[in-house]
Amino acid sequence: MGLVMVQSFAQSSQEPKLLRTLRGQRQERPAIWLMRQAGRHLPEYRELRARHPSFMEFCYAPQAAAEATLQPLRRYPLDAAILFSDILVIPDALGVPVRFAEGEGPRLEPVTTAEELARLNPDGLETRLSPVYEALQLVRAALEPDQTMLGFAGAPWTLATYMVQGRGGDREMARKFGFQHPEILAAMLDLLAECVARHLAAQLDAGAHAVQIFESWAEDLSEEAFQDWVIGPIRKAVTRLRELRPGAAVIGFPRGASHRTGLFARETGVNCVGMDIGADLAAARAAVGPDVCLQGNLDPMCLVAGGPALDRATDRILAAAASGPHVFNLGHGVVPGTPIEHVSHLVGRVTGR
């Protein structure tokens, strides 16, 4: 028995720290990465981005996307790289062209009828998204052995809100659509769950150690809608992904649904649940039990503010993180105005480096 435990530790210790945490191993100090750690808060990113007028073309340029992914790791001793890409590459690859209007967010041709849905073609998904996987390979080759490579995708409901509405925003149109046309939405979510699984499998093939599913719009859903539009489709995507890649480690981030953390963990089968800014870590730990990993949940505006409020909030999360496997992160993405020295300070406080 003692021997088995030693072997098990020796084997798993060859995986990078953050991946081990996702698999349920509590660490001496939490692993850390930050949502949107790559991007506009870095001057070197703004310079790189300025050379690529179209945001989607930037995402599809392997060298540029790889470079953007690696930039924050040169500045901060983070435990993971997350591929620089966008959740909307899936609708884009399905034949719903996505464009980013300056200061306006993404715009898509809305998909709201069974006919429009039937025209979407998932066949060549991995071929059309091959530049994404190429970027991921470049990044993985540049990582240290203890750094974790993360891939990601948007969750089916989040992607569907953009496809139905043709844009982001308050999701009111998407919810109305779901109440009026449950069967069209269900078919769209099925298609997207399959695409999410395949896109994540291809990222694991290209070198990702684990993947995150971003359910950015899990808030404002009744129990029934949450079950039908969030839980069911994510469970399908995770189940299908593990058929394609047995043992795949998955983080699910249902933003705005921290009151359903236990349900979400149980029913989707993810290894780790991302906590949003407002989540209570102790309640979440009680809800998921000792083995499921939690991730989060510093307020990005606290990181902008810095000073004593940042240290206090960081230490509170570190204290709560001691109760089980935990990946330190923000509760939402790094915002553009975040001072670099605040990020350095935070990562130093968490890692001791």
Q: Which residues are catalytic?
A: 36, 40, 49, 86, 162
Provide, rounded to whole angstroms, the least separation between the CB of residue 252 and its own copies: 17
Q: With contact defined as beta carbons under 8 Å apart, do 196 and 90 qualify?
A: yes
Is 331 a binding residue for its own copies by CB under 8 A? The answer is yes
Q: Which of 98, 206, 302, 321 binds its own copies (CB under 8 A)?
A: 302
Looking at the DSSP bridge assignments, the partners of residue 254 are: 215
Residue 339 has, within 13 A of its CA and on its CB side, a CA count of: 11
Backbone angles phi, psi at 252, to 5 degrees: -110, 135
Candidate ranges 53-61, 188-196, 201-209, 302-310; the one touching its own copies (CB under 8 A): 302-310
Q: With contact defined as beta carbons under 8 Å apart, do 276 and 296 qualify?
A: yes
Is 186 a binding residue for its own copies by CB under 8 A? The answer is no
Is 120 a binding residue for its own copies by CB under 8 A? The answer is no
Candidate ranges 34-42, 168-176, 198-206, 208-216; the one touching its own copies (CB under 8 A): 168-176
CA separation for the pair 302, 157 (Å, rounded): 29
Provide, rounded to whole angstroms, the least separation between the CB of residue 100 and its own copies: 19
Is 226 a binding residue for its own copies by CB under 8 A? The answer is yes
Beta-sheet strand order (sheet of 80-82): 31-32, 326-330, 293-298, 272-274, 250-254, 210-215, 148-154, 80-82
Residue 125 corresponds to which tokens in the numbers above?
A: 């998904």
Is 307 a binding residue for its own copies by CB under 8 A? The answer is yes
| Nearest CA-CA partner of 245 in 297, 206, 301 | 206
The three-class DSSP label of residue 101 is strand
Binding mask 237-276 for its own copies (x = CB under 8 A): -------------------xxxxx---------------x
CA 292 to chain centre: 17
Q: Given CA atoms 82, 83, 85, 90 in this order, what sign does their dihedral have?
A: negative
Q: Is 323 exposed, middle or buried (0-12, 13-18, 19+ CB in 10 A)?
A: middle
Q: Which of 12, 286, 291, 316 binds its own copies (CB under 8 A)?
A: 316
Which residue number, 211 or 320, has a Cβ lying nearer to its own copies? Answer: 320
Which residues are within 8 A (CB) of 46 and not within 5 positions of it... i.e. 6 or more apart?
A: 40
Contacts with its own copies by CB under 8 A: the residue count is 41
Provide, rounded to whole angstroms, the least separation between the CB of residue 226 and its own copies: 7
Is 116 a binding residue for its own copies by CB under 8 A? The answer is no
Is 175 a binding residue for its own copies by CB under 8 A? The answer is yes
Is 318 a binding residue for its own copies by CB under 8 A? The answer is no
Provide, rounded to whole angstroms, the least separation between the CB of residue 284 and its own copies: 9
Which residue number, 120 or 313, has a Cβ lying nearer to its own copies? Answer: 313
Q: Which of 70, 187, 244, 305 binds its own copies (CB under 8 A)?
A: 305
The footprint of its own copies (CB under 8 A) covers 172, 175-176, 179-180, 182, 219-226, 256-260, 276-280, 283, 297, 299-302, 304-305, 307, 309-310, 312-313, 316, 331-332, 335
